[in-house]
Amino acid sequence: MFERIKDEALNAAGQFADAGKGFNLLSSPSLQGALTRALTLQAELRDHWDRRIQTVAKSLNLVSKRDVLQLKRHVRDLENLVATLEHQLQQQTIRTKKAETSLQKERRVVKAPSAEKTKAQAKSPAKKAAAKPKKVAAKPKKVAAKAKTGSKAKASSSKASAPKKPAKKAASKKAKTTS
């Protein structure tokens, strides 16, 4: 119904403008002043009613349209923030999982050669003995004293460079020879 009235008003305005009198009438300063006063009066009345409604709403602790719009805008902003944070959390979770899997792969790679080495060393004690550096025992004081003498020094130095037997075995051999 409203659309029909609007269409008829537009048709009448178009016919009036086609007659030529419409342009002369619209260009008159008195009509332009009256139209601007009507538009400003309408805006002033709307603002006045909005202010009155706001004061009544505040006194009765009611929510106004402006408050609802501000709240909706704020909720929309917070929803966008939550969606952004959720997306960032998902991305960080993906990165963390990738890092953990690569770390586990690296640990497996590091553990695998050491496990192979221990198996190989356990199978062949000769390789184990060859892999360990030989320990050189310190010269006893008697050998150091003999080393100062001429010919005996060469003989004792060759014996000193050879690996010594552990003290327990040497002590047990001495005990066997004396008994």
Whether the predicted pLDDT of 104 surpasses 60: yes
Please name the residue that has the structure tokens 């060759």.
158
- Structural domain containing residue 90: 68-124
Domain count, the chain: 2
Q: Which residues contact 26 (CB under 8 A, 6 or more apart)?
A: 32
pLDDT digits (tens, 9 = 90+) for 154-163: 444 444 455 5
Return d(Cα 55, Cα 145) in angstroms, integer. 114
Q: Which residues contact 163 (CB under 8 A, 6 or more apart)?
A: 134, 135, 136, 137
Return d(Cα 73, Cα 77) in angstroms, integer. 6
Clarify whether residues 110 and 72 are in a common domain: yes
Across the range 50-76, mean pLDDT stands at 89
Q: Which residues contact 111 (CB under 8 A, 6 or more apart)?
A: none
Pick the last residue of a domain from 46, 62, 78. 62
